[in-house]
Structures are given as C-alpha cells and as structure tokens.
Amino acid sequence: MPKIVDPAERRREVVEAVFRVVARGGIQQATLQNVAGEAGLAVGSVRHYFDSHRELLGAAAREMVKRVEARVRAQLEVLRPEDDPHEVVEEIAGQFLPLDAARADETAVWLEFAVAARTDPALGSIAVELHDGLRTVTGRLLHRLDVADPVATEHFAAVLDGLAFDATLHPERLPPETVRAVLRRHLAQLTAAGP
C-alpha cells in the first residue's frame, strides 16, 4: 500500500530544509538539489510541491515572516495591564533579534533574503512587507511607552536592524546578553528624550 503524504506537512519539511541550507551556507546554496538532499527527497518531489526555485524561496521567506508574527502575537496575548511597559517592549522587540539558536537561524535567513531582495523582484515584495511590518511593530511598541514620533520609530527599527545584522555576523562579539543590554539602554534613552 502506498504511503499517504500530507502535502502541507511535506511543504513544511521542504521549507525547513531551505532554512537549514540558507542558515548554513547562504541563499546561493539553496538550490533545488541541495534543498531536496537536505529534506531527504528527490528533486522531482520538491518540484511536485513548488513549481520553481523562486516559489520555493518565496514560500520560505513567507514562513519566516509567519514565525516572527506568531511569536509577537503570543507575547501580546499574555500581556497583563500591570506588566512593566519597558519589559514588555524589550521582550517583544527581542523577537526580531538572534537571542537564541532558533532566532539566530531565522535572522541569518532573513538577512540572506533581504540582500537577495535587492536584485530579485519576487523577493522584493516580501522584503517590503518585512520592512513595513517592523516599523508597524516598533511604532506600536513606542506608543506603549508614550513615545509617538515617526523619527523615533525609524530610529528604533534601525537599532533592531543593526543589532540583528551585527549579532548575526559577529555572534562572539555581540552575544545575547550584550544585545539585550544595548536594547534596554536604547529604550531608556528613547523614553528619557521623549518625543
């Protein structure tokens, strides 16, 4: 009797393989053959679920966005009125930073996709979505701290982008505890400066 394959589960397995390949060797290594090998499948099986290499990369980028959104939503769902706003903002902002192994891999993948989006229009729309989404979140977080300023929102987003980039390229020089300290200090300076 042939094995029944859940198409959604198989697509998820292939996307996970893309993440591993990109995190380990960069987006240029995410060929259909390498991804198929990583997933333990034949190239034809991968093509069955994804019509093209571009569709495969787009699906992986969208999955990354969904994961970050899910973590942020989970943080928001457990908020209580008595929670310290600075701690809440720091925790939610930390979802965009490489503070553990899973987020470090996601951040590496995000950076690879962001660079590729510069010249690939198919990935460009996802990069714009990520850019706008981060600014929406940072604006809402700052509003929670009574800072309603578009420049402060851009500043905060730029700090998160910079921390993500540097901590991914130089994890030994910018470990999670240092990233958290920089984030904490930045938030304190933002709220002290006011709008």
Per-residue pLDDT of the chain in tens (195 residues, 90 and over written 9): 556 778 889 999 999 999 899 989 988 899 999 999 999 999 998 998 888 888 888 888 888 888 888 988 888 888 788 889 999 999 999 999 999 998 998 898 888 888 888 888 878 888 888 889 899 999 999 998 999 889 999 999 999 999 999 999 999 999 999 999 999 999 999 888 655
Biggest CA–CA distance in the chain, Å, is 69
CATH architecture of 61-193: Orthogonal Bundle (1.10)
Phi-psi region of 22 (alpha: psi -120 to 50; beta: other; left: phi over 0): alpha
Residue 15 · residue 60 · CB < 8 Å: yes
- Mean predicted lDDT score pLDDT of the chain: 89
Q: Tell the residue number behind the tokens 């660079």, with chain if given.
A: 115
For the stretch 8-37, pLDDT in tens is: 899 999 999 998 999 899 888 999 999 999
Question: What pLDDT score was predicted for residue 76?
Answer: 82
Q: How far is Cα 98 from Cα 108, in angstroms, rounded to an integer?
A: 8
Question: What pLDDT score was predicted for residue 36?
Answer: 94
